Amino acid sequence: MTESAAQQQDKPAAAAKEPAQKKEEALPEAPEAAPATEAPQKPAEKSAEQLLKEQLEAAEKKIAENYDLYVRAMADLENTRKRANAEVLKAHKYGIEKFAANLLPVIDSFEKAIDHAADDQGPLKEGLLAVYRQMVHAMEISGMKCFDPKGQKFDPNFHQAVSMVPASESAAPGTVAVVFQKGWMIQERVLRPAMVAVAQG
């Protein structure tokens, strides 16, 4: 085979290759694949030591709250006990206050009867005095006592002024000049103020 014939045989092969190359060049390039996103990482699990620490802190907080409630409850209980004791003591001291106040007019009547019988001598007067002394003694042992403020400085907490009189040598201004009715105390409380006349300057 001659050289020219070989060249003629190679030309169709070369011509066939050229359309294939053009076809390959005409194909669009495939898009690059997007990078794969990383999967979210799971939070690291707490260690046993961390869990125990958190449980201990929660328990300590609960203990502090319970202790505070305990202290408050004990304080309320103590205050209630004190109030109850005070009420009992008050009842013991002043439980007969109303009865005593109702009894004072009877004692006043005995005093007036004794004053009217001042010139009388006999069993009647002696009987009045005996009953009067018994009644006063019963009042005193029950926590009550009588007071006569004549000559003392006027005190509105213990005295009830019903009139004013001129001051004199025996009654300085602002003092009790006349006692119309004696006063009574029950323990530290005024059961009845004394009815008085006050000297004015």
SS3 category, 166: strand
Q: Rounded to whole angstroms, how far apart are CA atoms 171 and 151? A: 6
Query: Could you tell me the pLDDT band of residue 6, with boundaries at 50, 70 and 90?
Result: very low
Beta-carbon contacts of residue 170 (< 8 Å; ≥ 6 apart):
151, 177
Q: Rounded to whole angstroms, how far apart are CA atoms 85 and 97? A: 19
Distances (CA, A) of 139 to 101, 102, 106, 132, 184: 11, 12, 12, 11, 10
Q: Is 63 exposed, middle or buried (0-12, 13-18, 19+ CB in 10 A)?
A: exposed
What does the pLDDT average to over 30-41? 54
pLDDT at position 169: 81
Reply yes or no on whether the pLDDT at 163 is more than 80.
yes
Distances (CA, A) of 20 to 7, 15, 170: 21, 9, 152
What does the pLDDT average to over 90-103? 84
Q: Rounded to whole angstroms, how far apart are CA atoms 183 and 11? A: 154
pLDDT at position 88: 86
Q: Tell me the pTM.
A: 0.56
Quick count: other Cβ atoms within 10 Å of Cβ 93?
Answer: 14
Reply yes or no on whether the pLDDT at 90 is more than 90.
no
Beta-carbon contacts of residue 194 (< 8 Å; ≥ 6 apart):
147, 148, 149, 158, 159, 160, 176, 179, 181, 182, 183
pLDDT at position 34: 52
Percent of the chain with pLDDT over 90: 49
Q: Rounded to whole angstroms, how far apart are CA atoms 108 and 112? A: 6
